Amino acid sequence: MNTKKITIGITDCGEKFRNYNGWIRSMNPDIEVVKLSYEANNAKFVCECDGIVLSGGHDVHPKFYGREDYYPLLDQNNINERRDLFELNVIEQTQHNKKPLLGICRGLQIANVFFGGTLIRDIPSHLKVDWHDQGEDENDSHHHIHVKPGSLLFDISGKEEGEVNSAHHQSADKIADGLISNSNCKEGVIEGLEWKDDIGKPPLLLVQWHPERMMNQESGFAKSIRDYFLKEAGNRK
């Protein structure tokens, strides 16, 4: 695949941005990466990109999915409303310009919110499990997921189940109209979303894990996702 002149926009997430940049460019160092951030206010560059990656990070402000009552229960230092507003605009521009979209962790969550879905405030409180979040040593947790046969994710990964990493305490709750779950773990946490019907829509894949930093980069849940996304981006250049 010729990816030499592909331009990928990645939303800024602080120091971990380098993980996403390195992961995308490991396919081909000539791929151009544009950092999209509320500080630069550069959502206008979405139209110049061939694909967009929504990175991980902050909790989405619950007012954007109609649950203002969650706000006092969350770590308010881990909420950035300016980032939320910026990335909601990025998603809008991505859809308007029909760009491939890959959402990772928070990226899945804010995309689900954009399309009208809601979020689980806190997985440990809701499901009484805590292995999805990072431990005190900030290393990712790991767990198995089940992939729905016939889904886009199944086509991409070629697997009905496998192990992924995990570093989140929130997840999709009500799935937005137009989206469908493509994977879950045994506790019922939604691990991925995609279009229910993709006819006439730009490519979209949302995953709750972090393919950019999985230990096994040859996994169908890491390399295959990146390769699929860059292929779709190249097809739209």
Residue 87 appears among annotated catalytic residues: no
- Report how far apart, in Å, the C-alpha atoms of 207 and of each of 77, 115, 185, 194 are: 24, 15, 12, 9
Count the Cβ atoms, other than its own, within 10 Å of residue 125: 11
Catalytic residue among 87, 132, 210, 232: 210
- Respond yes or no: is residue 210 known to be catalytic: yes
Catalytic residue among 49, 105, 132, 143: 105
Active site includes 105? yes
Query: Cβ(193)–Cβ(236) under 8 Å?
Result: no
Write the CB contacts of 136 (distance below 8 Å, at least 6 apart in sequence). none
- Indicate which residue of 87, 191, 194, 212 is catalytic: 212
Active site residues: 105, 210, 212
